[in-house]
């Protein structure tokens, strides 16, 4: 396992977490840059936000100080202050996630067809170990609530199934591509993760993932 050396790049999530203390106007500006997904001048930003250019510059300076925005100087056009263009360092809205999904899908496709599901399940178990070590999973408010919170954090948009308090519908999938092609082993990753998580944090309990078992959802059933 490679440890990130001192002075190397920091995790993207760490930089995004620094957005927490931003004002509403600064967050609007960051959201706009992410939505545009390209370098934009102060004039363009101030027009889009209906704000004074000097105010936009002040907000951009804060975002740049947090490492959330980068600037570059554009070629001069006559006299006056050199124009700067700004872009978000987090990528266009949703772009980093799309690229990570593409990487995972490519890795699954590269596995031998006859072992892809078993290999992916083992990946999931290793992932479960990491989740336990990171302490992001908690059963303080009950196992069902803990699992629901974890799946929500991962982007599954969990919804309790009516009349069944141990059944959760997963209405989104963070690893499903827009082509809706399911790579072999994709669902086994999550089954392996949950099995390992339960082995370590809720011995005796079980989780069963049933892909596409509900209209527009996968079903996650907990047995306790």
Three-state SS letters, 179-206: CCCCCCCHHHHHHHHHHHHHHHHCCCCE
Per the prediction, the chain carries an average pLDDT of: 83
Query: How far is C-alpha 218 from the geometric centre of its chain's CA atoms?
Result: 19
Predicted confidence (pLDDT) per residue in 105-115, tens digit:
889 989 998 99
d(CA 171, CA 69): 33
Q: Give, as one character, the DSSP assignment of residue 91.
A: -
Q: Using alpha carbons only, how large is the chain's radius of gyration in Å?
A: 22
Predicted confidence (pLDDT) per residue in 122-140, tens digit:
999 999 999 999 988 988 8
Q: Cα–Cα distances in Å, from 177 out to 15, 39, 97, 145, 189?
A: 26, 27, 10, 27, 16
CATH of 12-88, one of 3.40.50.1970, 1.10.150.20, 2.30.40.10, 1.10.10.10: 1.10.10.10
* CATH 3.30.1380 residue spans of the chain: 95-223
- pLDDT of res. 80: 61
Of 5, 1, 62, nearest to 28 by C-alpha is 62
* CATH 1.10.10.10 residue spans of the chain: 12-88
Predicted confidence (pLDDT) per residue in 86-104, tens digit:
988 765 556 667 778 888 8
Please tell me the number of Cα atoms within 13 Å of 135 on its side-chain side: 1
With 80 as the cut, is the pLDDT of residue 4 above it?
no
Neighbours of 152 (CB within 10 A): 15
Contact 43, 34 (CB under 8 A): no
Three-state SS letters, 10-68: CCHHHHHHCCCCCCHHHHHHHHHHHHHCCCEEHHHHHHHHCCCHHHHHHHHHHHHHCCC
d(CA 186, CA 188): 6
CATH of 95-223, one of 1.10.3470, 3.30.1380, 1.10.10, 1.10.1060: 3.30.1380
């Amino acid at each position: 396992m490679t440890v990130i050396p001192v002075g190397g790049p920091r995790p993207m999530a760490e930089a995004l977490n620094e957005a927490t203390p931003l004002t509403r106007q600064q967050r609007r500006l960051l959201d706009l840059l992410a939505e545009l997904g390209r370098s934009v001048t102060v004039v363009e930003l101030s027009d889009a936000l209906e704000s004074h250019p000097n105010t936009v510059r002040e907000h951009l300076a804060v975002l740049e100080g947090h490492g959330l925005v980068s600037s570059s100087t554009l070629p001069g056009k006559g006299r006056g202050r050199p124009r700067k263009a700004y872009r978000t360092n987090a990528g266009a809205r949703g772009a980093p996630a799309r690229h990570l999904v593409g990487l995972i899908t490519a890795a699954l496709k590269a596995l031998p067809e006859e072992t892809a599901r078993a290999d992916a399940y083992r990946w999931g178990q290793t992932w479960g170990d990491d989740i336990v070590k990171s302490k992001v999973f908690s059963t303080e408010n009950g196992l069902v609530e803990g699992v629901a919170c974890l799946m929500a954090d991962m982007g599954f948009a969990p919804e309790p199934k009516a009349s069944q308090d141990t059944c959760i519908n997963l209405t989104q999938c963070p690893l499903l591509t827009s082509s809706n092609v399911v790579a072999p082993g994709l669902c086994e990753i999550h089954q392996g993760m949950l099995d390992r998580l339960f082995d370590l944090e809720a011995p005796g309990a079980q989780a069963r993932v049933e892909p596409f078992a509900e209209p527009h959802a996968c079903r996650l059933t907990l047995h306790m």
